[in-house]
Each structure stands twice: as C-alpha cells, then as structure tokens.
C-alpha cells in the first residue's frame, strides 16, 4: 500500500511533515510522546538516524513507536553506518514495523559527533540507496537480482541544500533518476534567497518529477540563529531576523514562530512547492504553533489507495 504522504502529494495537497528524534537511550516512551504531540498536525514524521553523527535509538525501532502512536513514519537511513546488507535489512524491517516513506541520506561527517574514530562505511552512495529501494518497490528484487518476498514499496525521498555554495542541480537530478519521488530541503529562513533555487528547479522540470518539500524551523533565540549560521551548512538566517530575535529577549520564541508562519504562508503560494517540513529542534509546541498559525489545520484525509497502489 502506498503511503499517506504519497497519496496526498499525488492529490495535489500541500503537505506538512515534521520530525521525531529518537533518544540517546532505550526508552520507547520518549519516541511515542514526541509522536503523539504531532498526531493531527503532520501528515508524516521523519524518524532521524544518528543525527549529528551521535548514537541514538535506531530509526527502525523509532519508526515502530511512531506508527504505534498513530503517525505515519518516514524512516531516515544514512549510508554512513551500513553496508548494502545492513541497508537492505533495515528497509525490510522498517516496512514491517510501519514505515511507509524512506528518506535517504549520506549522513553527517563522523567528526561532528561523539565517536570521531568510528569507521564510515559508505558501501553505497545515496543514489545507490535510492535505487535499492526503487528496485524493491518496482520489481521486488535487490539490485543483485535476488527476489524478496513481500517487498516494501516506500515513497522515497532525498535531501537537497539549495543555498549551498556552488550549488549543482545535477546531483539532485541523479537522485531523481535513481527513483526518488520527493525532495526535502535544508532549513530556509529567507524565501527571497530561496527564490532563485525554485526558479532553477522549475526550469529544469524537477518540480514536475518530484514533490519539493521545503524545510522550515521556528527559531527560539538569536543564539540559536547564530549557531545555525555558523555550524549548519546551507542555512542562512538573515541578519535582520537575528537582530529581531535579539531585541525580543524572552519573547524570542514567539517572534520565531511568527516569522516562520509568515514564511510558510508565502511558501503555500510559491509555484512548485508541494509542502513544508517543520522542524521543532526539540520543541514540538513550536511545530504545532506554526502549523496552526499558517492555517494548515485540519489536515485533510488522504485519498484511498487505488488498486494499482496495492
């Protein structure tokens, strides 16, 4: 059966996704609590995979807890930590436990985390992981040709960093050629800066080939804004917004939500944008406030699967 997210995208609905970060621990209740706060607000939730190259609960386990809470999981999987056997095994396990979307990533550099001496695997590149998932969905086979019983049929997504220096759209196009059906961007705070990228991807037909979901996140302080500017590649928080957050003091979280709401409203009118991915960075109340403030509630029901969807 195709995912709720895929059916909404196919129907032309402006979709809303969010994020659940499994804990640095073994308590599934933490994941369930995060997911419950997003039920009814998000159409699906990304379950992260060892973010910032630091050990967290497996996204396969996290996806199971998110699904049990009543929210559709998008399982993130990085190529950094697994060879092709491990990747394929996690794709099968994630589907069995309720994941219906897959978000394929290279993974943050190990030097960014708490195990810098770990060995990065990178047996497959992101395009290869996308192709692996697509082969399972379309042919029920691994790239080796081995048949898989009851193969998963993930809606496959990839990341893009529109404001990266020397941005090359060909890399994104290779991921789409491999079978990706949606794209989630790095966090954007300045639609004017993003507009050039949107013009580019529209001109190359990318928005017709895949659903473009723009990442947004309500800021809580000027310090957080400066951290993102300095430490997260491809994120640009405009100086005027940093100054506004600084001046707001204790009211900075409300300012962050208000500016994020304005951005989402503009994105709803931007041609080629299929939805937003709202990241709370540990504060789900901000995610809910942005979705409410932008008039994105109630979330619409997904169309019923067609016979061709399975």
Count of domains observed in the chain? 1
Q: Which of 68, 24, 64, 19 is nearest to 44 (CA)?
A: 19
| Section 59-73 average pLDDT | 98
**Residues in Cβ contact with 81 at an 8 Å cutoff, skipping those fewer than 6 apart:** 49, 50, 107, 120, 121
On whether residue 276 sits in a domain, the answer given is no
The pLDDT-based confidence of 310 (bands split at 50, 70, 90) is low
The pLDDT-based confidence of 196 (bands split at 50, 70, 90) is very high
| Section 263-286 average pLDDT | 95
On whether residue 218 sits in a domain, the answer given is no
The pLDDT-based confidence of 308 (bands split at 50, 70, 90) is low
| Section 76-99 average pLDDT | 97
On whether residue 60 sits in a domain, the answer given is yes
On whether residue 39 sits in a domain, the answer given is yes
Q: How far apart are CA 250 and CA 228, in angstroms?
A: 19
Over residues 228-255, the pLDDT tens digits come to: 999 898 999 999 999 999 999 999 999 9
Q: Say if CB 14 and CB 268 are below 8 A apart.
A: yes
| Section 152-177 average pLDDT | 96
CA angle (91, 125, 234) in 5-degree steps: 105
Q: Give residue 85's pLDDT.
A: 97
Average predicted confidence (pLDDT) for the chain: 95
The pLDDT-based confidence of 307 (bands split at 50, 70, 90) is low
**Residues in Cβ contact with 130 at an 8 Å cutoff, skipping those fewer than 6 apart:** 104, 156, 158, 175, 178, 179, 180
On whether residue 64 sits in a domain, the answer given is yes
Q: Give residue 111's pLDDT.
A: 87
Percent of the chain with pLDDT over 90: 91
On whether residue 138 sits in a domain, the answer given is yes
Q: Give residue 118's pLDDT.
A: 94
| Section 168-192 average pLDDT | 97
Q: How far apart are CA 202 and CA 208, in angstroms?
A: 8
On whether residue 171 sits in a domain, the answer given is no
Q: Give residue 143's pLDDT.
A: 86
| Section 258-262 average pLDDT | 98
Q: Which CATH number characterizes residue 150's domain?
A: 3.20.20.220
On whether residue 296 sits in a domain, the answer given is no
- The domain of 108 spans 1-160
Signed CA dihedral, 159, 161, 162, 166: sign only = negative
**Residues in Cβ contact with 17 at an 8 Å cutoff, skipping those fewer than 6 apart:** 5, 42, 43, 44, 45, 46, 74, 184, 213, 275, 276, 277, 278
Over residues 133-160, the pLDDT tens digits come to: 999 999 999 988 999 999 999 999 999 9
């Amino acid at each position: 059966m195709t995912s709720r997210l895929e059916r909404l995208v196919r129907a032309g609905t402006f979709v809303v996704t969010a994020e659940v970060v499994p804990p640095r621990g073994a308590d599934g209740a933490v994941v369930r609590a995060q997911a419950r706060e997003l039920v009814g607000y998000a159409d699906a939730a990304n379950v992260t995979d060892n973010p910032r190259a630091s050990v967290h609960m497996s996204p396969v386990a996290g996806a199971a807890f998110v699904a049990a809470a009543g929210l559709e999981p998008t399982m993130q999987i990085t190529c950094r930590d697994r060879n092709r056997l491990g990747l394929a095994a996690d794709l099968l396990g994630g589907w069995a436990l309720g994941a219906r979307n897959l978000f394929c990533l290279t993974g943050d550099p190990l030097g960014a985390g708490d195990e810098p001496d770990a060995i990065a695997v990178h047996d497959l590149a992101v395009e290869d992981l996308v192709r692996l998932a697509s082969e399972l969905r379309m042919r029920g086979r691994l790239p080796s040709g081995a048949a898989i019983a009851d193969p998963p049929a993930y809606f496959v997504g990839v990341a893009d960093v529109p404001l990266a220096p020397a941005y090359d759209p060909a890399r994104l196009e290779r991921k789409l050629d491999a079978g990706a059906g949606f794209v989630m961007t790095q966090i954007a705070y300045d639609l004017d800066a993003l507009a050039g990228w949107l013009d580019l991807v529209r001109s190359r037909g990318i928005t017709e080939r895949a659903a473009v979901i723009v990442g947004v996140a309500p800021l809580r302080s000027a310090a957080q804004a400066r951290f993102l500017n300095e430490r997260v590649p491809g994120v640009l928080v405009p100086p005027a917004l940093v100054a506004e957050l600084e001046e707001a003091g204790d009211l900075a979280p409300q300012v962050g939500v208000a500016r994020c709401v304005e951005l989402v409203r503009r994105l709803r009118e931007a041609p080629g944008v299929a939805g937003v991915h709202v990241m709370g960075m540990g504060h789900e109340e901000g995610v809910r406030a942005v979705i409410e403030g932008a008039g994105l509630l109630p979330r619409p029901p997904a169309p019923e699967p067609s016979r061709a969807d399975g």
